[in-house]
Amino acid sequence: MDYQSVLERIARDMAPQIGSGRPAEYIPALASVDPRRFGMAIADVDGKVYGVGDWQRPFSTQSITKVFTLALVLAAGDDLWERVGREPSGNPFNSLVQLEYENGIPRNPFINAGALVVTDRLQTLTGDASSELLEFLRQESGNPGLAFDPEVAESESAHGDRNAALAHFMASYGNITNPVSTLLDHYFWQCAIEMSCADLALAARFLARHGLRADGSRLLTRSEAKQINAVMLTCGTYDAAGEFAHRVGLPGKSGVGGGIVAVVPGRCTLCVWSPGLDERGNSVAGVTALDRFTTLTGLSVF
């Protein structure tokens, strides 16, 4: 398939929509990002990358990193699913309501409460969750220059009271084992990793390769890779996962930095970035671009 031509067609089709939505204003370091930015990249299973627009420009990955943290915890053989569910939440990604009804067990690993549990497990397994994640992303993307953005991390920490409340609440149920302050530090640094569309498309290839890493070694079993893709499809775009599945038909994970990663199992991975968000925290242009991709190519999981 001529992926480059498909991307160029999408970029032309997207031109009127680029700039729609608003950046994540509740994180000051993200509020000033130009919403007219747009980039998209595709990495096939052999590692060839295609791109258009701002596809090589780094941006704040935010919640997209939750996919990779989850993969590292599952790869370590951790029995994570006793501590976090696999169901859509139906509530905002930072909601406290469900935790009280469900005794401190988050609905899925991609809402903030669930991601805090996953990061807590990675911290216990490695002793340095954020650095372990960054090194993994450097290896899988082939970009040793990947780094944290200190301004974003500090901004997240200064406005992280809701995440602190989630962590303390789960700790009261014994579902957080590290000191909450340590956990929050690693969680905020994890969200502050900067990557480009090309970096993310390459780093996520193990999900299209049924668990195989870039060097050919196995990170996950085929079953574990299937599990992550399934949870991405049903839970990866906050409380708009049903709409995303309906429009795009691919496993995907979004972040409030404006990025979305999507997977075509056995074929390729995609990343699109446009900072303007809808009311649920997903990139307006990004969702539309992925919708155009599956429409033009016929590639989806359905």
Per the annotation, binding residues for substrate are 63, 112, 156, 163, 187, 238, 256
Decide: helix, strand or coil at residue 218.
strand
Q: How far is CA 297 from CA 54, 238, 282, in A?
A: 22, 26, 23
CA distances from 216 to 133, 205, 241 (A): 19, 11, 31
Residue ranges in the chain assigned as alpha helix (H): 3-14, 28-31, 65-75, 97-101, 112-126, 129-141, 150-158, 161-172, 180-191, 197-203, 205-208, 222-235, 241-247, 284-297
- Could you give the C-alpha distances from 16 to 12, 228, 259, in angstroms and in order? 9, 34, 19
Residue 111 near residue 238 (C-beta atoms within 8 A): yes
Cα 223 to Cα 57, 199, 214, 218: the distances in Å are 33, 25, 18, 12
Q: Taking Cα atoms as reference points, which of 258, 244, 253, 286 lies closest to residue 27?
A: 258
Pairing of strands 59-60, 193-195: antiparallel
Nearest to 74 by CA among 86, 63, 64: 86
Residues taking part in catalysis: 63, 66, 187, 238, 256
Query: Residue with structure tokens 């906050």?
Result: 238
Say which DSSP state 211 is in: T
Distance, in Å, from the CA atom of 242 to the CA atom of 292, rounded to the nearest integer, reads: 17
Enumerate the known binding-site residues: 63, 112, 156, 163, 187, 238, 256
